[in-house]
Amino acid sequence: MDLVYFALLCSVLIFVHELGHFVWAKIFGVKVLTFSLGFGPKILRLRGRETEYCIGLLPLGGFVKMLGETRQESVLPEDRARTFEAQSLYRRMIIVLAGPAMNVLFPVLLYFVVLVGEGPQAPPTIGTVAPGHPADGKLLPGDRVLEANGEPVYTFAELRRQIQNSPNKELLLSVFRNQTRVEVSVTPQEVRVEKPFEIVDTVGTLGIGPSQPAAVVGVPRTDSAAYRAGLRTFDVVIEVRGKPIKRFVDLEEALAENHGETVPVTYLRPVRVPGALGTMADLAVYEPGVAALAPEANQNTFLARTGMEPADLYVFDVPDGSAEHMADLRPGDRILAVDNQEVTAWITFEELLFAKPDQPHTITFERQGERRSGSIQLRRELYVDEYGGEQSRYVMRARNWAPLVPEPLVESPHSVRNAFVAAVEETYDVARFIVVGVVRIAEGKIGISTLGGPITVYDVVGEQSAKGVSYFIWAMAIISINLGLINLLPIPVLDGGHLLFFGFEAVLRRPLPLRVREIASLLGMVVLVGLMVIAFKNDVERRWDVIRGQVRELVP
């Protein structure tokens, strides 16, 4: 089946490429003799009024043969004006450029098809607000954003796009809060996003998320009402006095007016299963329970009355041997501070550690009411990325567990427009990534071992097609952009080589001598074959273990 998908992908992309040449040749009146999809023996031939349409057995190429492209052709006097060489310089440039341009623009359609089919999305409701970020103190969980700078906002993705496009620029948000409409002015913080190949993007961020925390509780003290009732950290409350509970805010509302009355609280407790699936997975199962909770009377805060708070700051997992484990951090501990700076959210804990990842930090935490501290330095790891470059990263292995409850999805009346804009942006990002990658290879910053050939393409197509049609289309879009941009390289025999010849012609006011073009084309063919050999060698080296295993199966 992978072979079918591979043939389909090659055929579609080659057809799109050659169609660009064909259409613009026809628009300018050039006589097209052959439109061929694929090489080798012809399995299908159709004769048009003046063009023969062919499909070859091997779907690894194609061509559009125009009148007058070879010296051996005899051209009738009445057709001389319809040869390719008879066209003006700008027309020839457009015809040649049209093929790669189609491969670069075609992904806009592919991405659009995938994105427009995604359906309803998360609404522009504020779920979480990170402490210390621009939205802190200005936006509240539960706020529904209606407009941004006067433009209606229907989904969280639309809101995020507005924020990302406005670093250090004031945003005036119209927000629905507590049954009233309020205006909130907030300025997104500028953040640098580092990507492979030394690409750096600048975007805006407010520190907000689209979903609110689930009713997963943290129980910090053993003398609290929650602990006496049998509730423990990471219990998931699902009912209070028979009323369903989903979010932590629902739990707060259900107990808001309770000042001493005992109520039944139904919960689910995650219990780890050691050695699950033969140690292949880290699993936990829920054990149900019911607690008789009697909140304290005459206490002002929810934590003081019930002994419960969101579990965001509690450590859920600490792998043995990790830097966090050696700092005496254990599951169930509550993070208090980093370097004597108070921590009010797990994201703040991570930000403080990663702000200076190469330095040791003093973390302060609480365990069953007892205050403790330890020293931690994040571990630095070296790895080789998918492009063959050596990269380094700092990792934190301790994890919290604070699941979120998504809001009901909504439709946007601008879904078609949003999908098109996102498709154009995605196409631009991929094209820029490929261009910068080629430049980095030319600069010697990236090894030529990163080049991939047909085997790599075959593997990618097989992997993505196994995930579903949308993944296959996504892979087709990326490969199409690759094909279009590679064809623009200034190597004779490629479209970019022809454009290079046209550039000399524009400067010299006459075409390059035919002998020069022939020698350049021969050298270009040598370079192209050399690159193909390197790419094939890289493919074989990447799959050598697989190939050797398959050979052993065939040869006893």
DSSP 456: H
CB neighbour class for 470 (10 Å; exposed up to 12, middle 13-18, buried from 19): middle
Specify whether the CB–CB gap between 155 and 123 falls below 8 A. Answer: yes
* Helix/strand/coil percentages in the chain, nearest 5: 40, 25, 35
Specify whether the CB–CB gap between 60 and 10 falls below 8 A. Answer: yes
- Helix and strand counts by DSSP (H, E) for the chain: 14, 26
DSSP 447: -
Specify whether the CB–CB gap between 423 and 415 falls below 8 A. Answer: no
Q: What angle do CA 508, 510, 511 make, to 5 degrees?
A: 110
Of residues 511, 521, 539, 333, the one with CA closest to residue 451:
539
DSSP 216: B
Grouping H, G, I as helix, E, B as strand and the rest as coil, residue 122 is coil
Q: How many CB atoms lie within 10 A of CB 551?
A: 9
DSSP H helical segments within 398-513, as ranges? 415-443, 454-467, 469-486, 495-508
Of residues 197, 201, 199, the one with CA closest to residue 440:
197
Q: Residue 197: in which H helix or E strand, if any?
A: none
CB neighbour class for 73 (10 Å; exposed up to 12, middle 13-18, buried from 19): exposed
Kindly give, in sequence order, each residue whose CB lies less than 8 Å from that of residue 278, ignoring residues fewer than 6 positions away.
none
Going across the sheet that includes 243-244, the strands are: 243-244, 236-240, 263-273, 283-293
Decide if 386 is catalytic: no
Catalytic residue among 18, 158, 407, 426: 18
> Token pair of 201, please?
């993007």
CA distance 209 to 146: 16
Kindly give, in sequence order, each residue whose CB lies less than 8 Å from that of residue 9, ignoring residues fewer than 6 positions away.
457, 461, 472, 475, 476, 479
Please give the positions annotated as active site: 18
